[in-house]
Amino acid sequence: MRGFDLSPLYRSTIGFDRLFSMLDQTAAGEPSAYPPYNIERTAENAYRITVAVAGFAEVDLTIEARENVLTIRGAKEARADGAEKPEVLYQGIAARAFERRFQLADHVQATGARLENGLLHVDLVREIPEAQKPRQIPIGGAPKVVEAKAA
């Protein structure tokens, strides 16, 4: 059950659509915890998302970044060689299709991804434009007096 209805705020605000959409998504919660993931800070403006994707190959995974949302999808493709599926006596490794979304802050870009040992690593970097970086404004001393000659 949701505790807050944000629809009246949509009518009276301009430019906050993304903020309210994020609040709606947060209130809805995540339906599944599969696959598990970690989010790490690797440097001051660098991050890494690590997703456990055991059993998936590179061709089974897609990574898409659009409008501050990073989406990672995984789906096993059917075998093209016509070989029948082996009989599995016990399946402890989940290989079901998944979609995991991460909300990215402004100016955060995905710079690369790699798959190693069943873990998908996606590297992210925050690059703030020069015009939006804080800058020092010098405080001037006493005003300078320009001497003028009498005519």
Q: Where are the domains of the chain?
A: 1-31, 33-79+88-129
Min mean pLDDT across 13-22, 36-45, 95-104, 109-118 is at: 13-22
Query: What is the rounded CA–CA span in Å between residue 56 and residue 97?
Result: 10
- Percentage of the chain beyond pLDDT 90 is 28
- Please tell me the predicted confidence (pLDDT) of residue 150: 67
Fold designation for 33-79+88-129: Immunoglobulin-like (2.60.40)
* pTM reported for the whole predicted model: 0.65
Compare 116 and 134 and report the one with higher pLDDT. 116
- Please tell me the predicted confidence (pLDDT) of residue 140: 78
Q: Is the model's pLDDT at 1 over the cut of 50? A: no
Residue partners of 35: CB distance under 8 A and separation at least 6: 51, 52, 53, 74, 94, 98, 100
